[in-house]
């Protein structure tokens, strides 16, 4: 878990340069008190003077490289995520042209493989910069083993909830969005009702271009709700509003119908202010697997069947070895 109120930049790296940073919604992290104050460090728009200290992780499946470093000898750490961008079909003719260099790597009968070197302008990388980064940012992205935990209702009351209350992770960056102090221009839909309202905003993982990679999050106005464990029948109007209003807003804006949306909660969530993820069914988003995702429609139906369903049900979730919650469960003999 990591600080949420950080200075961050998002660049398209092309031909050794970068476009001006765009404001993005940081919707996949939670924070600590280190980041409660606004940082005076401005977002970067160049990597000049950046020194890599270590490679935190390499994800070949998603083609993402996680780096830790520093700018210009600063004592402040920086975390940089380099991600290969999706292909643009409009550029297909330019990718396969006489200016594209090929290096043959294999030939067997009719089968040929090549390393392909297109025009640098067509070979963009997306860079996400977290700067200054806390140790919790670094720990979030570093390679580590992951374990499955079965959390009973008793475990939640005796292990998880005391840990959450003691840690007091900051979600000030979430409140900044709800109060429209930050990123108000990115809000797709807003319902200000304190009990049933929410804000729907694009996630930083989506480039706002390719709707097959659509990713938005609905952040509830109700500030006392942390996660699935807090939900009961009194929250059904809120959940139904998120489902119906969120689907309509996305279809009206992006033309994506409800039948092409995956709408779900994470458990454990990345930050403890109740929110719902909206992704395109074609997108294999992190955390959309069975060990973490809970479909919104299932949550609504389960509460209808049993009002205390999420207060009583054992819930499975994954936990990383450097997460303090892992140590709590291990000390309790649950791992």
Q: Which two three-digit tokens encode residue 201? A: 């905003």
Burial class (CB in 10 A: 0-12, 13-18, 19+), 250: buried
Beta strands in 50-168 (DSSP E): 50-59, 64-71, 77-84, 101-108, 111-117, 125-133, 146-151
Neighbour tally for 237: CB within 10 Å: 12
Q: Is the Cα torsion angle 222, 228, 230, 231 positive or negative in sign? A: positive
327 vs 305: CA distance, rounded Å: 34
Please classify residue 181 by burial: count the beta carbons closer than 10 Å to its beta carbon, then call 0-12 exposed, 13-18 middle and 19+ buried: exposed
The question of whether 277 is a catalytic residue gets the answer no
Token pair listed for 230 = 């807090």
Task: Report the interhelical angle of 296-305 vs 236-254 (nearest 10°).
Answer: 160
Q: 5 near 173, Cβ under 8 Å?
A: yes
Residue of 235, 273, 275, 277 marked active site: 275
In 135-201, alpha helices (H): 135-141, 153-155, 161-167, 172-178
Beta strands 315-320; 146-151: pairing state: antiparallel
State how far the Cα of 159 lies from the Cα of 227, in Å rounded to an integer: 15
Q: Taking the CA atoms of the chain, what radius of gyration do you get in angstroms?
A: 21
- Would you call 55 helix, strand, or coil by DSSP? strand
Active site residues: 275
């Amino acid at each position: 878990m990591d600080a949420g109120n950080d200075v961050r930049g998002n660049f398209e790296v092309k031909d050794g340069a970068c476009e001006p940073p765009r404001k993005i919604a940081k919707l996949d992290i939670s924070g600590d008190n280190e980041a409660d104050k606004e940082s005076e460090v401005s977002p970067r728009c160049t990597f000049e003077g950046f020194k890599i200290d270590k490679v935190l992780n390499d994800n070949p499946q998603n083609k993402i490289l996680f780096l830790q470093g520093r700018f210009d000898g600063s004592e402040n750490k920086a975390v940089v995520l380099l991600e290969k961008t999706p292909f643009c079909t409009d550029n297909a003719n330019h990718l396969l042209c006489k200016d594209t260099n090929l290096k043959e790597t294999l030939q067997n009968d009719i089968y040929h493989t090549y390393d392909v070197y297109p025009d640098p302008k067509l070979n963009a990388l997306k860079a996400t910069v977290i700067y200054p980064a806390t140790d919790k940012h670094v720990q979030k992205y570093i390679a580590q083993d992951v374990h499955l935990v079965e959390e009973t209702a008793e475990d939640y009351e005796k292990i998880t909830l005391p840990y959450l209350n003691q840690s007091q992770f900051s979600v000030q960056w979430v409140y900044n969005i709800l109060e429209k102090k930050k990123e108000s221009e990115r809000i797709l839909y807003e319902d200000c009702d304190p009990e049933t309202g929410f804000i729907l905003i694009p996630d930083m993982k989506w480039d706002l271009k390719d709707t097959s990679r659509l990713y938005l999050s609905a952040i509830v106005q109700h500030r006392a709700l942390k996660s699935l464990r807090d939900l009961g029948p009194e929250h059904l109007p809120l959940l139904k509003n998120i489902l119906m209003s969120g689907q309509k807003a996305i279809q009206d804006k992006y033309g994506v119908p409800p039948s092409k949306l995956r709408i779900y909660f994470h458990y454990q969530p990345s930050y403890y202010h109740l929110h719902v993820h909206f992704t395109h069914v074609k997108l294999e988003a992190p955390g959309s697997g069975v060990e973490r995702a809970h479909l919104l429609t299932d949550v609504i139906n389960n509460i209808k069947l049993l009002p205390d369903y999420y207060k009583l049900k054992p819930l499975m979730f994954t936990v990383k070895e450097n997460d303090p919650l892992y140590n709590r469960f291990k000390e309790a003999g649950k791992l």
